[in-house]
């Protein structure tokens, strides 16, 4: 498996600083969500080449997937994101779904999402990029978010029916929403493109809460998964020290 950090792991530092740190730690990528905030995409691309580590994931210019009136704007954002990804050699694009709409049947909103994703799928297939839909928890962090459960998210992906539309499975979110983490994280492996991890409660680095990440990551690795696992978390101690502890206390027991 490959391991990534997320922008903000080193507060106030830019993507180049993060990439240098990722290289130092022996990790493999940086998730930089708002690619449009990068000052110069060509500069970032050159720095990636120099350092030998690059951006592993970014996000769509987020517009609701469940509101049909916003479909054209969402797809235009997708087109812009794909062009940026081509410049930066990014192969994963994360999309949240937006909040459920009041007064609109849930099935209708789900079908709008499926249709929008079906229209996006050929764009990602042609570019060789995977669009990752992300379920989020509604109890603590994202009240009202449309997709929260992994089973419903998998159903959406299956209805789209494209190898380039999958899920990012966030262990923190799914622990809060449904528990049953190892069974879902491994049972849906063929629909998952990468994982986010953080402990619960608190969304801090693994080892600070209730989740047994040695067992979770062993189970994911046991499926043959060789994609990215991203540390999408805050840190209770100095970031470098937290990463060293994560490598020593968790990853060393997984590899």
Is the bond preceding 201 in cis, omega lying within 30 degrees of 0?
yes
Q: Which of 128, 121, 2, 125 has the alpha carbon at shortest distance from 56?
A: 2
* Residue pair 57/93 in contact by the 8 Å Cβ criterion: yes
Contact 168, 134 (CB under 8 A): yes
What is the pLDDT, as a whole number, of residue 63? 85
Q: What CA–CA distance (Å, rounded) separates 113 from 122? A: 15
* 62 pLDDT tier (thresholds 50, 70, 90): confident
Query: What's the pTM value of the predicted model, to 2 decimals?
Result: 0.97
CA triplet 212, 213, 217: central angle to 5 degrees? 130
Structural domain that includes position 80: 2-254
Catalytic residue from among 210, 232, 241, 248 = 232
Given 15, 31, 132, 134, the catalytic residue:
134
210 is catalytic: no
Tell me the C-alpha distance between 13 and 162, whole Å: 37
Model confidence over 45-59: pLDDT tens digits?
999 999 999 999 999
Confidence of residue 40 (pLDDT cuts 50, 70, 90): very high
Q: What is the 3-state secondary structure (H, E, C) of the chain?
A: CEEEEECCCCCCCCHHHHHHHHHHHCCCEEECCCHHHCCCHHHHHHHHHHHCCEEEEEECCCCCCCCHHHHHHHHHHHHHHHHHHHHHCCCEEEECCCECCCCCCHHHHHHHHHHHHHHHHHHHHHHCCEEEECCCCCCCCCCCECCCCHHHHHHHHHHHCCCCEEEEEEHHHHHHHCCCHHHHHHHCHHHEEEEEECCCCCCECCCCCCCCHHHHHHHHHHCCCCCEEEECCECCCCHHHHHHHHHHHHHHHHC
Q: What is the pLDDT of residues 218-248, one digit of tens each?
A: 999 999 999 999 999 999 999 999 999 999 9
Stretch 209-221: mean pLDDT, rounded? 98
% of the chain beyond a pLDDT of 90: 99
The yes-or-no verdict on residue 255 having pLDDT over 90 is no
Mean local confidence (pLDDT), 62-76: 95
Number of domains composing the chain = 1
Q: Is 152 a catalytic residue?
A: no
Residue predicted with more confidence, 5 or 63: 5
Specify the CATH number for the domain of residue 109.
Answer: 3.20.20.150
Instruction: Assign 25 a pLDDT band (cuts: 50, 70, 90).
Output: very high
Q: What is the mean pLDDT of residues 28-50?
A: 97
Q: What mean pLDDT comes out for the span 21-38?
A: 98
Give residue 240's pLDDT. 98
What pLDDT digit, counting tens, does each position of 162-186 carry? 999 999 999 999 999 999 999 999 9
């Amino acid at each position: 498996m490959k391991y990534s950090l997320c922008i903000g792991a080193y507060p106030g530092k830019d993507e180049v600083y993060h990439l240098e740190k990722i290289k130092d730690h022996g990790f493999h990528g940086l998730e930089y969500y708002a690619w449009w905030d990068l000052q110069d995409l060509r500069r970032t691309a050159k720095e990636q080449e120099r350092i030998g580590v690059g951006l592993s994931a970014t996000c769509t210019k987020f517009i609701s997937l469940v509101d049909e009136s916003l479909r054209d704007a969402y797809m235009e954002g997708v087109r812009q994101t794909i062009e940026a990804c081509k410049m930066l050699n990014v192969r994963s694009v994360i999309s949240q779904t937006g909040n459920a709409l009041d007064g609109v049947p849930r099935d209708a909103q789900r079908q709008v999402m499926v249709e929008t994703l079906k229209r996006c799928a050929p764009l990602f297939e042609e570019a060789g990029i995977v669009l990752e839909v992300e379920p989020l928890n509604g109890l603590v962090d994202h009240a009202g978010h449309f997709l929260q459960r992994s089973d419903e998210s998998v159903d959406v992906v299956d209805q789209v029916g494209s190898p380039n539309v999958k899920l990012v499975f966030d262990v923190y979110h799914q622990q809060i929403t449904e528990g049953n983490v190892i069974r879902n994280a491994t049972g849906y492996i063929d629909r998952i493109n990468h994982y986010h991890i953080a402990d619960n409660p608190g969304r801090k680095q693994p080892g600070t809460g209730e989740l047994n990440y040695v067992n979770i990551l062993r189970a994911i690795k046991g499926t043959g998964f060789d994609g990215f696992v991203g540390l999408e978390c805050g840190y209770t101690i100095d970031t470098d020290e937290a990463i060293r502890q994560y490598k020593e206390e968790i990853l060393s027991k997984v590899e």
